[in-house]
Amino acid sequence: MARTHYIAGNWKMNTTKAEAVALAKDLVEQLKGKTNKYMIGVPFVYLDAVAQVVKGSNIILAAQDCAATDNGAHTGEVSCAMLKDIGCQCVILGHSERRHEIGESDELINKKVRKALASGLEVDLCIGELLSEREAGEAEQVCAFQLSAGLAGVTEEQMKNVTIAYEPVWAIGTGKTATPDDAQAIHKFIRGYIAKLYNQKVADEVIIQYGGSMKASNAPELLAQPDIDGGLIGGASLKAETFVPICVL
C-alpha cells in the first residue's frame, strides 16, 4: 500500500532562538501546500517561540524528550502537560543519544512512551543497534527487544499515534549510511515484528522512518524502498536548503 512520507527534523542541541525562529519560518513558507507529513524536534527552550511560527501550518512541533511523570517535584524535568500547553503535538523518545549518552533504560523509555500517548501526544520511538551488535549479527534481535520493551502496554488503538524510527547507531552523525538494501531488510523485519506484537493491519499502517545520515543525495533511494516510509533527519535538518529537498520527495 502507498504510504505518505513522514519527514522529521531532529535539531538536537543546536540553534540559537533567532536561528530556530528563522529556520521555522523558512520551513513553513517552503513546505506550505506540500502533502507529506512533516515534523521538527526543537530544543526545549525554543519550543514556545517556534510554536508561534508553525501554528496553523502543516508542520508538527515535537519535543526531543519528555518526563515519565506528571507535574510535581521533579527538578529539571519537562512534563507532557507542559509540552501540550505550549503547542507541542509530538515527542521523540528512545533516541540513541538518550540511550547511550544519558543512559536511559528501555523501562524508562516505555514509561515515557505510555505517558506521552496517554497525554494525547504523538510518539516517534527510536530503535537501533550499535556497530558491535550489527557485526555480531544481532541487529534484528536488538530491534525486536527495543520494540517489545518500548511498546509494552501500548494498545492497538494507541499505535495510530506511534511512529517507529530505525536508526542504526553507527550511522548517526557519522556520515555513514546503511545501504538501501540493508535498511530495507531491517525495516521489513520491524514491520513483520509489529505484526507479531499486534496484527497485520497495525503493521501495514505504522510509519517506519530511517534515521542515520539521511540527506538529499541518498534520500531518494532510501525512500524508494517498500518499507521505508520517511526519515528522521539530524544534521541535514538544520538548514532549509538541505532539509526541504528531502521533504518534497
Binding residues for substrate: 10-12, 173, 213, 234-235
Measured distance CA(12)–CA(234) in Å, rounded:
7
Active-site positions?
Answer: 95, 167
Measured distance CA(127)–CA(95) in Å, rounded:
7
- Indicate the annotated binding residues: 10-12, 173, 213, 234-235
Extract the runs of DSSP E, i.e. beta strands, from the chain: 6-10, 37-42, 59-63, 90-93, 122-127, 162-166, 207-210, 230-233
Measured distance CA(35)–CA(107) in Å, rounded:
36
Are 127 and 187 contacting, i.e. CB atoms less than 8 angstroms apart?
no
Are 70 and 139 contacting, i.e. CB atoms less than 8 angstroms apart?
no
Q: Give the CB-side neighbour count of residue 246, counting CA atoms within 13 A.
A: 34
